[in-house]
Amino acid sequence: MSVVLRRLADAFALLGGGILLAIVAVTTTNAFAFILDRIAGLFGTDVAGLPGYEDFVQLAISCAALMFFPYCQANRGHVSVELLTNRMPQALQRAIDLLWLGVTIAVALFLAYWMIFGMREVRSDQVVTSVLGWPSWPFYIPGLLSMILWALIAADQVFGDAANA
């Protein structure tokens, strides 16, 4: 189970990274079009950029950002303050850790729960982006799955952090 979950979190992170690279590709293309347009402007012509690319970045980044959460949890990357607890007895440290894992699971499930309603609402309201006119609701799905996976990873950590898969 642990191994499967970790692989899944890794896949989500890499997919999120792929989306980031897609943003890089689209944005770079657009920026070069902008430079060409400046040059073409000297000769009285225009080079078009990719219309609505800001819409695309906005939708894409919403997926990538949330897809990073489970991998971050799997690697204990969500920062915390190390000050008092280091000097506490080992058992107490472990108890506190379990408590916070419990809260993390609750938060992740809470967010997933509400996101389901959010997605349904955005879908029934037929919300679209302003330039591309793409519907927003499908872009809730990666985030929703990420929240569930995040909760599962944290739940798995309750039984001890797995060795790197």
Judged by CB under 8 A, the chain residues 91 through 120 that form the site for other proteins are 96-97, 100, 103-104, 107, 110-111, 114-115, 117-118
Nearer residue to other proteins within complex by CB, 34 or 159: 34
17 class by beta-carbon count within 10 Å (0-12 exposed, 13-18 middle, 19+ buried): middle
- Three-class DSSP category at 128: strand
Binding mask 33-52 for other proteins (x = CB under 8 A): -x--xx------xx-xx-xx
Please provide residue 128's backbone torsions phi and psi, each rounded to the nearest 5 degrees.
-125, 165
Site for other proteins in 127-146 (CB under 8 A): 127-131, 133, 136, 139-140, 143
Site for other proteins in 1-30 (CB under 8 A): 10, 13-14, 16-18, 20-21, 23-25, 27-28, 30
- Residues binding other proteins: number (CB under 8 A): 76
Q: Give every CB contact of residue 164 below 8 A, 6+ residues apart in sequence.
A: 6
**What span, in angstroms and rounded, lies between the C-alpha atoms of 160 and 154?**
10
Please provide residue 131's backbone torsions phi and psi, each rounded to the nearest 5 degrees.
-100, -50
Interaction between residue 57 and other proteins (CB under 8 A): yes
| Shortest distance (Å) from residue 155 CB to other proteins | 15
39 class by beta-carbon count within 10 Å (0-12 exposed, 13-18 middle, 19+ buried): exposed
Site for other proteins in 59-88 (CB under 8 A): 59, 61-62, 64-69, 71-73, 75, 77-85
> Which of residues 31, 39, 158, 165 is near other proteins by CB under 8 A?
31
Nearer residue to other proteins within complex by CB, 4 or 21: 21
Tell me the β-bridge partners of 128. 135
| Shortest distance (Å) from residue 40 CB to other proteins | 9
**What span, in angstroms and rounded, lies between the C-alpha atoms of 147 and 152?**
9
Interaction between residue 165 and other proteins (CB under 8 A): no
Tell me the β-bridge partners of 135. 128
